[in-house]
Structure formats: structure tokens, C-alpha cells
Chains A and B, each alone.
Chain A
Amino acid sequence: MDAATSLAPATAKRRGRAFRVLPGVELITLAALVAAPFLLADRPELVTLMTNILILSLLAISFDLCWGYSGIMSFGQALFFGVSSYVIALVGRDLDFSQLWATLPLAMLVGFLLSGLMAAFLLLGRRTPTSIFVAFGTLTGAYAAERLVAGWQYVGAGNGLSSIKLMAFGSTEFVEGPAFYSIALGILVAVFALSRWLVRSQLGLVLAGMRQNEERLAFFGYRVQAFRALVFSVAGAIAGLSGALYAYHQGFTGPSNLGPGLSTTAVIYCLFGGSGTLIGPVLGTAAIEGISFVLSDTDAVRQFWPVILGFVLLIVVMFQPTGLLGLVVSTRERIGSYAGRRR
């Protein structure tokens, strides 16, 4: 035992490898999500709720990549979510095709291309846009898309598209239930792992630098907006995937899935749980959807549920900007550590 550690374990802990809360939270969440279908086997409606939470968590994670990691306030995540859900519904209706090995990648591609286009328009170019303009751009995109879809007969106008063809693999079709839950969980874990790797890589370090001092990083020669555009596109792909799963799970998609309403719900999930942590959005989604489910039995409360949601958002942005996880996770850990440069 060398002198440093023998002196005071507490300081060693602070100086060396700090005690980490996040991996613990991530593991507990994973264990709970894996155990859930077994514990809830006799409550099918709860399995459905949990599947919904998993799917919406993907949307919340995609927003976290935008806001928590690259500082884009996106009021348009639902746009990629919704367009993918419509594409999936139309492929099912017009081509009679719903094999998940093809449609889910297609949804990701749609989300990726659409968000890439939007990023190219909003972020890239000779003039650097202000963050407010970018926020408005995403908001306007989502709003315009909602209005367009709500008036377009081919995609069902205001009624949306219902009885979407069930997701299938080979000849197996998936209705809501434990099987669908497992697929959603698998996808969520994969997306989470990928995002976690991304934000802890050297690219993540650049993103952290951007959050800290964007101008300085630009002087170092980084093309800051290109990094933003890249992360935004990846987030768009994740939102697209989420939208496709949502459409399959609900069997329905409508104009409200495209609009600023759902986009801001994703914002609330993420901020409530704790942005910039990846696991925070998952917990936030679970908490808010869970509370909503419990309260939905009471008529008086259900009517004012959006008021409660607004109040929660207001309290979070005013008093607890780091969200629920901010209560237990230190700032240092939230900012994180990054993979070494490959030699």
C-alpha cells in the first residue's frame, strides 16, 4: 500500500477514480427492465405500458443527444419520429410489407436523411446560425409538417392511419406483449450502448469542448457545426427507429405524432430525468409515463394532466436544471471521461 492511499481513502477516492453513480443507475435500470415482463406476467396492460416507455425512451435519448450533448434545442424530434411512423404505416398499407429486418432500418434511414437535410439547412453554410434560430427551425419544421399531414388525404389527413400492418419477422407477427417488449428492450439496449460509446469517444470529447467554449474549439480548427449536424442526424435516425416501433406497437399513427406537442413531451422526459446522461431520459420517460398511467384513472386529474406536465417542466428549468439524476450524480461525473486517442 503506498502512502497516498494509506493516508486518507476519502481523498484518494476524490483524486483518483471517483466513485461512480451512473453505471450503477444504468445497471439497476437494465435489471429492472429485464425483470419487468416476468414480474408483470399477469398484468398485460402494464407490459404494454412498459413497451411504450421503452419506445418513447428512444425518442428521449435522441433528444438528449441533441440538447444534452451538442446543445441543439430541438423542438422537432417528433418530426423524424412521426415521418418514420407514417412511412412504416404506408409501406404496410401500400406494399403489404412489414418485415422488421427491412422496415426498421428503413425507418432509421428516413430519420437520418430527414434530420441530415434539416441539419444541412439549419446548421451548415457560411453563416453560423444562432442557437435560437436552430431551435425555431426545428419547431417550424415540426409544425409545418403537422399542418401538411393533417390536410393530406393520401395519408389519412386529420384521422391519421390506423390498423397498421403488424410487425413481422418471417411468418411470426408481433402483437403487443412480452415478445414485442423483448424486441424493444433489445433495440433500446443496443441504441443506448451505441450512444454511450459515441458520447464517450473522442467525438464526445469534441462535443464536451463545444459545450464548454464553442468559439475556442472553432479556433482550434474544429468544424463545430459539422459535428452538430452529425450528432443531429444520428439522433434523427434514433427518433425514426422509435417512431417505427411506436407505429407498430400502437397500430396507429396520426398528425400529432409529428408535431411540436410530442417534441416538447420528449423535451420534458429528458429534462425531468436529467439531460446529458443518456440514462436520465429513460428514467424520465418511465417516471412521467408511469405517473400519467396511474393518474389516468382519475377523471379530474386526467383533464389537468398537461397542466401538471407544464408545472413539472417549469419547476425543473427553474430549480433543478440537471433533472432527477442531478440529485444523485455529481457534475464531474455528468461531464464524464473520454476514451483515449488511438495510436
Chain B
Amino acid sequence: MDIAIKFAFDILAFTSVMVLIVLGLGVIASMMGIFNFAHGELVLLGAYTVYLSDEAGLGGWPGVIAAPIVVGAVGLALERTVIRRFYANPIIAMLGTYALGLMIREIVRGLLGGHYKSIPEPMGGVFGIGGLEFSVWRTFIIVVTMLVIAGSWLLLSRTSIGLKVRGALENPALARACGISTDLVYSLTFAFGAALAGLAGALIVPLYQLSADIGIRFLVQSFLSVMLGGVGTFEGPVLGAAAVGAMAAGLPWIVLPVLADPLVFVLALAVVRMRPQGFIAAGRI
């Protein structure tokens, strides 16, 4: 029983990270119809921000708080200069964002000198409930993820900004006719997605060592989560991430670890092939 609870906790923590990354990716995919191949590198930039603040002797906290802001700003700049040229053609957008991601990744790799850096948890230690010990930082990740999901949902469904965003998603031409600047909505959406990626990067970097490839490992899984959950919805990607995250964390216990990883991909791909609209069909935010 104890092991089962620990196991469930680990899956929950991992899934939370996935949800954070996928939420950003899913928001961008739903709004602009492009899949951002540079998303993993935005995660990396978030992680790198924490590393910088740690190096500067400030500890991890300023980095964790700055990461979403910094990466959101980077996302805004990228959208304004490059990404918006690709909205007309989602396939070309994949190539363009891949190129951006490659550049960011390799520059950071150069800055890190190819080394792995470990960063201490800003809030270390464990706490116990009924004889079981839980990592404080992982709990913090879970709580933050819950807050982000709730906050995003409230923002989308209860505020006038959210109404504009939903309008631009539902019918961009009509939204423009109503005086909503879809350009601005797209810019802000992209920045918001980037900020979520940055936050995710900042939260996971103490768990994994910082290397240039920290974002890549989540990228393919995140794409599959978005497709699995359904593009154009809010709940979809969250559910998809939960499914993929649980599979990725749980399968190694059932089959050989070597097989588990590719199996997750194949299973997810097969489900998407059978049900292209995802778990939740579009238009229900």
C-alpha cells in the first residue's frame, strides 16, 4: 500500500510537469494551428534562467519567479519577428520553429560548455504524512500545476480577455470584424504559452540535471499529448498529458524499460490514428 501511494505520487508529479508543458503547447496549437517545435527550448530557457540566478548567488527562487517572465518575453519577441510569418502554413511552421529551437538549444549548449549542471531544489527536504515521506519540491510542483490549470481556466472562461481569446479561436474573421485585434491575441497567446514552458523548465530543473537536451525529451511526448487530447480545447491537452504522463511513468513497471519508451509513442499514435479529433472534440471551452 505504501509503495502504491509513493508510486501514485511520483506519477502525479511527473504528470504535473507534462501538463504544464503541454498546456503551453496546446494553447498555441489550438489558437494558431501551429505546433511549436521550439517549445522544448523554451522549457530549456526557463531552466537556464534558474541556473543563472543560482550561479549569481541569489539561490533558485528569483530564477523560478523570473523564468516565466523572461521566457514569456522571449516568446513575444519570437512571435513578433518570426513565428507570425508561419501561420498560413503549419508544416512550414514546424520547420521554422525547429530551426529556432535548434539555434536556441545549441547556443545554450555552447554557454554551458557541454556540461551537466545540477541545481539544488530551492525548497528541499521531505515531509511526512502517516509515516510516508513526500518530497517538498515535487509537492510544490503539483500545487503550482493545479493553480496554473485553475488560473488558466478562469482566465479563459470568466474574463473579457478570455472571451476575446475564445472569439479569436472560434472565428478569427468575425472576431476581427468585431474589433478584436487577433494579431494581438495571437502574440499574447504565444507569450503565455512560452511563459508556461518557462515555468515548467524552472520547476523541473532541480529534478533533472540541466543540459541542453532537457526540453527535447518532453517534446515528442507533449506533441502526442496535444493530439491525443484534441486540438482546440482546454481540457483536451490536459487530459492527453495526464494519459501520456501516466503511461510514460507507469509502463516501465509493466514491460521492459527499453520497450516502455517507444511503446508509449506507438500506443499514443495508434489512438490518435483511430480517433483523430482527440479525446475531446473542439469547440467546448
Contact = CB atoms under 8 A, between A and B. Distances in A.
A127 interface: yes
Size range of the interface on A? 35 or more
A234 to B, nearest CB: 21
Nearest to A152: B258
A139 B262 contact: no
Nearest to B270: A121
Contacts of B86: 317
Given A131-B91, A132-B35, A267-B95, A307 B273 contact: no
B26 to A, nearest CB: 14
Interface stretch (A49-57, A140-148, A182-190, A236-244): A140-148
Contacts of B272: 133
B91 A132 contact: yes
A309 B269 contact: no
A310 interface: yes
Given A121-B273, A133-B276, A148-B258, A140 B220 contact: yes
Contacts of A151: 257-258, 261
A322 B266 CA distance: 34
B107 A132 contact: no
Nearest to A147: B261
Interface in A125-176: 125, 127, 129-133, 135-137, 139-141, 143-145, 147-148, 151-152
Main secondary structure of the interface of A (DSSP, over half): helix
B37 to A, nearest CB: 9
B258 to A, nearest CB: 4
Contact of A143 (B99, B107, B265, B276): B265
Given A271-B95, A314-B99, A144 B106 contact: no
B74 to A, nearest CB: 16
Contacts of A271: 95
A73 interface: yes
Contact of B276 (A130, A140, A309, A310): A130
Contact of B262 (A147, A264, A267): A147
B227 A136 contact: yes
Interface string B82-108: 100110001110111011111101110
Interface string B268-285: 110011001000000000
B84 to A, nearest CB: 11
B269 A307 contact: no
Nearest to A271: B95
B224 interface: yes
A177 interface: no
Interface in B232-277: 257-259, 261-262, 265-266, 268-269, 272-273, 276
B105 to A, nearest CB: 8
A151 B259 CA distance: 9
Interface in A284-311: 303-304, 306-307, 309-311
A73 B91 contact: yes
A307 B262 contact: no
A271 B98 CA distance: 14
A314 B262 contact: no
A148 B103 contact: no
B95 A317 contact: yes
B214 to A, nearest CB: 16
A299 to B, nearest CB: 12
A183 B102 CA distance: 35
Nearest to B96: A317
B102 A307 contact: yes
A122 interface: yes
Most buried by B among A139, A140, A147, A314: A140
A129 B99 CA distance: 25
Nearest to B113: A303
A328 interface: no
Nearest to B100: A314
B180 to A, nearest CB: 26
A148 B262 contact: yes
Contacts of A121: 273
Given A136-B269, A139-B223, A311-B103, 12 more contacts: A132-B94, A135-B91, A139-B220, A144-B266, A147-B261, A147-B262, A148-B261, A264-B98, A271-B95, A307-B106, A313-B96, A321-B92
The 10 closest A-B pairs by CB, nearest first: A310-B102, A144-B262, A314-B99, A310-B103, A313-B99, A151-B258, A306-B106, A144-B265, A310-B99, A148-B262
21 contacts: A73-B91, A73-B94, A73-B95, A125-B273, A131-B90, A132-B91, A133-B272, A136-B35, A136-B224, A139-B220, A140-B224, A140-B266, A143-B220, A147-B262, A151-B261, A304-B110, A311-B99, A313-B95, A313-B98, A314-B103, A318-B96
